[in-house]
Structure 1
Amino acid sequence: MSDLPYRLGVGIILMNAEGLIFVAERIDTPGAWQMPQGGIDAGEDPLPAAFRELEEETGTSKAELLVESRGWLAYDLPEEIRGKVWKGRYRGQKQKWFLFRFTGSDSDIDIATEHPEFSAWKWAPPHLLPEMIVGFKQDLYRQVVAEFLPHFVKA
């Protein structure tokens, strides 16, 4: 596994005015909730990738950047799914994370996008995020929440 590279990606924390975070349930993994995330295209910088992924996955671009992670955060795929995800070319993903303030209303969010990844969405308190994600991403979510904690609005 250590011979395989990490796929470069971005992760997005979309926070509403009450300090709650957008999470969505994956179509392919019922019961697994996550924040928007995705790969960085060749020649693309992380911030434009984050805005693109946000719109592709939530149907909205009504957000403003608050802060980005100091560094890159990584997770490894479990061995049992490594050969299935990304055609087995990557050991996991190395992500740059961004905290955005949502500037729209709930009606601006539409997860029924051109290539939907989610079946449902909701707003959740930041401290619950690590518990909602699949097990192999929980440590990464704990790191993201800890780093951005000073920037969260107190609900």
Structure 2
Amino acid sequence: MTETDRAKYRPCVGIMLVNGEGEAFVGKRIDNKEGDRWQMPQGGVDPGEDLDTAMLRELAEETGARPDHLQILHRLPEELLYELPEELQGKLWGGRYVGQRQYWYLVRFTGADSDIDLDAHKHPEFCEWKWVEPELLPEMIVPFKRDIYRTVVEGFRDLL
């Protein structure tokens, strides 16, 4: 992929946050317009920010998880790409991107459920959260991200 092509995709990190039982964290987005859709934490990488820092920041903003409750287990080596459906292109992220290119992390959460705080950030993204079996993740996400979730689950399967 050329740098011009890469520039069309928002740089992003995604996190499969798992508890001691190997279940994955999912949150229901506050702005969810498609019914009962859940997603794992994810977010953009700020200019000049390294991937690990972006991942920890996103987890803190979206889940309230503190670094001392997190153990980074693995990062998939390749970027995963998805494109937004046509009806969303030009509407998200100021119309600058056609999709996202994501680096995915597997992170163990060592805190208690009471340490999750969806209101930790001034602009919460999730209104509910729960732990689920990783195999269920692809069916819980919006359809245009399902292939990414299948790849993530398969990529981390042996580490769960």
Q: TM-score, normalised by structure 1?
A: 0.94
Q: Is the 8 A contact 2:45 2:51 kept in 1?
A: yes
8 Å CA contact 2:90, 2:98 repeated in 1 = no
Task: Output the amino acid matched with 2:97.
Answer: Y
Query: Given the alignment of the two structures, is residue 28 of structure 1 paired with residue 36 of structure 2, yes or no?
Result: no
Q: Say what the alpha-carbon RMSD is for the aligned residues.
A: 1.3
Distance 1:91 1:73 in 2: 14
Name stretches of at least 5 consecutive residues in structure 2 with no aligned partner. Answer: none
Matched length: 151
In the aligned structure 1, how far is the partner of 2:150 from the partner of 2:40?
13
Partner of 2:49, secondary structure, is: coil
Structure 1: runs of 5 or more not aligned:
none
Amino acid at match of 2:138: P
- Does the residue aligned with 2:87 lie in a helix, a strand or coil? helix
Which amino acid letter does the alignment assign opposite residue 145 of structure 1? Answer: V
Q: Is the 8 A contact 2:24 2:134 kept in 1?
A: yes
Residue 105 (structure 1) aligned with residue 112 (structure 2): yes
Q: TM-score, normalised by structure 2?
A: 0.91
Moved beyond 6 Å, runs of 4+: none
Distance 2:8 2:88 in 1: 16
Identity %: 55
Determine whether 1:142 maps to 2:145.
no
- Displacement of 1:87: 1.4
Alpha-carbon deviation of 1:88?
1.0
Q: Provide the rounded CA distance (Å) in 2 between the counterparts of 1:119 and 1:70.
A: 31
Which one-letter code corresponds to 2:82 in the other structure? Y
**How do 1:31-110 and structure 2 match up within 5 A?**
31-61=36-66, 62-110=69-117
